[in-house]
Structures are given as structure tokens and as C-alpha cells.
């Protein structure tokens, strides 16, 4: 992000919101407040936002009033596997 802001405006930045990170149990107190503030400011300056699920995409869209993030699903497609007899 810093490169885009200070040196080269043509650089494309994609924010990968792989998890709903600011809401994890690992962030508490001041860390959580700072992470949310950084995310709120920076998410509006990126060229695209990607995430892994429809629910996380909707949460980010509503929380930050941004276009719906692109989905990049990182799990296999469901298929039934039949047992061998």
C-alpha cells in the first residue's frame, strides 16, 4: 500500500480478507482497535478486495460500504464418493 501511495500510483493493490481477521479471538483491546482502524482506512484505497465466502464478503460490504468483494473459494467442490464394495 505504501508503494502505491508514495511512489507509484499505477501499482495495483488487492486486499485478501481471507478470514474476518479483526473479529478473531486473537485480537483484543488496543490491537483490535488499531487493526479495525487500519482496515477501515486502507480498504477504501485498494483496487480490489477478495475473500473466501459469501458471508464474509457481505459483512465487509456492509461494514465498510464497499463494492462486494470478489470470491476466491479455497476449498474443493463437494462431490459424493461411493464406497467400493
Give CA–CA dist 51/60, Å, rounded: 9
Locate the domains of the chain by residue range: 13-71
Confidence of residue 6 (pLDDT cuts 50, 70, 90): confident
What is the model's pLDDT at position 9? 78
Segment 9-24 shows an average pLDDT of 82
Confidence of residue 21 (pLDDT cuts 50, 70, 90): confident
What is the model's pLDDT at position 1? 65
Strand pairing of 14-17 and 48-51?
Answer: parallel
The model's pTM is: 0.74
Sequence-ordered list of residues with C-beta below 8 angstroms from that of 56, at least 6 positions apart, any chain: 17, 19, 20, 69
Beta strands in 1-85 (DSSP E): 14-17, 48-51, 70-71
Amino acid at each position: 500500500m505504501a508503494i502505491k501511495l508514495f511512489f507509484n500510483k499505477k501499482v495495483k493493490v488487492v486486499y485478501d480478507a481471507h478470514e474476518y481477521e479483526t473479529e478473531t479471538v486473537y485480537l483484543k483491546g488496543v490491537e483490535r482497535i488499531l487493526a479495525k482502524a487500519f482496515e477501515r482506512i486502507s480498504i477504501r484505497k485498494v483496487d480490489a478486495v477478495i475473500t473466501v465466502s459469501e458471508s464474509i464478503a457481505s459483512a465487509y460490504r456492509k461494514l465498510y460500504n464497499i463494492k462486494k468483494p470478489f470470491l476466491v473459494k479455497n476449498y474443493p467442490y463437494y462431490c459424493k464418493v461411493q464406497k467400493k464394495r
